Amino acid sequence: MPLDAGDGAPDFTLPDQHGEPVSLSALRGQTVVVYFYPRAATPGCTTQACGVRDHRQDYEGTGAVVLGVSPDPVEKVREFDHKYGLDFPLLADEDHAVADAYGVWGERSRYGRRYMGVERTTFVIGPDGVIERVFRRVKPAEHDELVLGALRGS
* Catalytic pick among 9, 14, 34, 45: 45
Whole-Å CA distances, 1 to 9, 12, 104:
13, 17, 9
> Is 45 part of the annotated catalytic residue set?
yes
Identity of the amino acid at 63 = G
Residues facing residue 118 across a β-bridge: 105
Which residues, 6 or more positions from 59, have their beta carbon under 8 angstroms from its beta carbon?
33, 52, 65, 66, 148, 151
Give the residue numbers annotated as catalytic, written as ranges. Answer: 45
